Structure 1
Amino acid sequence: MIMNEKIKASEVQLTGVNGEDLGIVSTAEALAMARKLKVDLVCESLMSSPPPCRLIASGAAKQAAQQASKRDRPAKVKEIRLTPRIEDHDFETKAEQAHRILLAGDSVLFTVRIQGKEGQQAKELLERLIRELKPSGRPATGIQLSGKQAAVQLNPLSI
């Protein structure tokens, strides 16, 4: 986002604080108007000539840019490892941790290490986790049993 003195165009298409069209004005005049009103001059796009600029309350432009970049970031996949014979308290801790991750907008990959004939226990554990986390996430795929591990990925509901 290009703001205030960083705008290099000689003239801009200016929009006021309340959305009113102020027409094409010189950049120096637009900056003077922004200083007088104690707001920021923000360039919305450099693709047109003259570039469209807007007068926005100080700080609101940065906040809007941060929220836009937060929405644009790709979701991360965070892995949580478990064992089939997990204690109830540890299970609740892992489920709460996964719940927080899902609410933050990231995906969770549960991986259960299997030794011997623990495949059915691992599958039941993952099914229990899916049921517990139903309000905050949904499975991306089914439970995958392969070799020495079982896995399932949960995506947040907002994706």
Structure 2
Amino acid sequence: MEVASNVNPPVAKIINYGKLKYEEKKKAQASKKKQHVVKIKEMRVRPRIDDHDLETKVSRGRKFIEDGCKLKVTLMFRGREMSRTDLGLDVLNRVIEMLSDIAEVEKHGELEGRRQTIVLTGK
């Protein structure tokens, strides 16, 4: 194997090629192990959700954020609920307020069809 090609005469070294390939593979695995893939967990809520149900969902969402995941909160409207989108905004604002100590809003989505989403990330 050529060690230094820019000197005159070029420097070469005799090596075990299998050992070299093994070490390169181990370095690649170690660098891949250090990479962190951010997962997005989704929490679906409705505009007429009860207080305790919302608290339960928010506590699960809190655990997701503490584990390093992003939290996508999807608000789903059905039927006549589309005429009262202000109720949905109130629910989303309550979720943001409950998680404001550990999370911040990354993306505040607008109404898409019958769904409205926000994405929360840890501070």
Q: What is the TM-score normalised by the length of structure 2?
A: 0.68
Using CA pairs under 8 Å that are at least 6 residues apart, name the structure with larger relative contact order, 1 or 2.
2
SS of the residue corresponding to residue 120 of structure 1 reads helix
Cα distance in 2 for partners of 1:118, 1:96 equals 26
Cα contact 1:109–1:152 (8 A) shared by 2: yes
* Paired residue secondary structure (1:140): strand
1:10-159 aligned at under 5 Å gives the runs 46=24, 69=33, 72-115=35-78, 116=80, 117-157=83-123
Kindly provide the amino acid, as one letter, of the partner of residue 8 in structure 1.
Answer: K
1:118 and 1:152 map into 2 onto residues whose CA distance is 18
Q: Any gaps of 5 or more consecutive residues in structure 1?
A: 1-6, 10-44, 47-64
Alignment of 1:2-17 (within 5 A): 8=19
Structure 2: unaligned runs, 5 residues or longer: 1-17, 25-29
Q: CA RMSD in A?
A: 2.2
Q: Distance in 1 between matches of 2:118 and 2:100?
A: 13
Q: Number of aligned pairs?
A: 96
**Identity over the aligned pairs, expressed in percent?**
25
Q: For residue 140 of structure 1, report the CA deviation from its aligned partner.
A: 1.0
Whole-angstrom distance in 2 between the partners of 1:142 and 1:82? 16
Cα distance in structure 2, aligned partners of 1:118 and 1:110: 18
Cα distance in 2, alignment partners of residues 155 and 112 from structure 1: 17
* Structure 1 runs, 4 residues or longer, greater than 3 Å off: none
Q: TM-score by structure 1 length? A: 0.54
Residue aligned with 1:119, SS: helix
